[in-house]
Amino acid sequence: MNPLRGASARNLLGPVVRAAYRVRVAGAHLVPREGGVLLLSTYAGITDPTLLATNLTRPVAVLVGEGSTPVGLRSALGRIVVSEQAPGAGLREAAALLDNGHAVAVFPEGCAADGPEHGGFAAGAAYLQARTGVPVVPVAIAGSTGPRPTDPPRPRSIIDIVVGEPLRMAPVADPLVRSEVVAVAEQLRQHFSDHVREARLRTGRLRGGLPNTAEGSGGHNGAL
């Protein structure tokens, strides 16, 4: 994925999104302005990838499930496709972007990268953090869906995006060792859970949306 094309999509789609919805972003300054950063976000509906890509302080490449974005639009929209059959290719692309100082977002409750090779909560996200050592920023989104997850919000709906404190972690010895990744995943799970609970209290919204335990993850797999 060419990150410059993702930035162009952000500049073009951002005004459209903000004209269609009333987007309120809290804590945007907590996203580091430079260097690689991994965003962990709640997932409620089909608009969430676009909201992440267009409403933060820097361009964001978003990991999505296969089939969620038309092939011809993936690069232009800044999407990284992670297929269930071969998640490694998408993870390698995301890791390369992080290594080169870009921002990447993942939905840990429903990431197609959460395969059995590592297991546990946010396995794909945990691998990326362990592999690159970048800071992790939790994000909670509320009001981003209609009556069903497959429906967009009604026009002029209020959408809340709440950004949390970055988590900087000690380097791991080997990101390919399962126990190392599981340990990272548990730290991410706790930090993410704490942020979602706080965001729920602050907004009075966000029903559900809390991650499962480190032993497994649920969510909207493939519809990221």
- How far apart are alpha carbons 153 and 145 in whole angstroms? 5
The pLDDT score that the predictor gives to residue 96 is 94
The pLDDT score that the predictor gives to residue 115 is 38
Arithmetic mean of pLDDT, 153-159: 94
> End-to-end distance of the chain based on CA atoms, in angstroms?
17
Domain extent listing, the chain: 3-203
Arithmetic mean of pLDDT, 33-53: 92
The pLDDT score that the predictor gives to residue 8 is 66
**What are the residues whose beta carbons fall under 8 Å from the beta carbon of 220, sequence distance 6 or more?**
43, 107, 109, 110, 149
The pLDDT score that the predictor gives to residue 206 is 59
Arithmetic mean of pLDDT, 83-103: 88
The pLDDT score that the predictor gives to residue 21 is 95
Q: What is the pLDDT of residues 8-40, one digit of tens each?
A: 667 778 888 989 999 999 999 999 999 999 999
The pLDDT score that the predictor gives to residue 66 is 66
The pLDDT score that the predictor gives to residue 166 is 97
* Percent of the chain at pLDDT exceeding 90: 48
Q: What is the pTM of this model?
A: 0.82
- What separation in angstroms does the CA of 138 have from each of 40, 87, 163? 5, 22, 6
Arithmetic mean of pLDDT, 104-114: 69
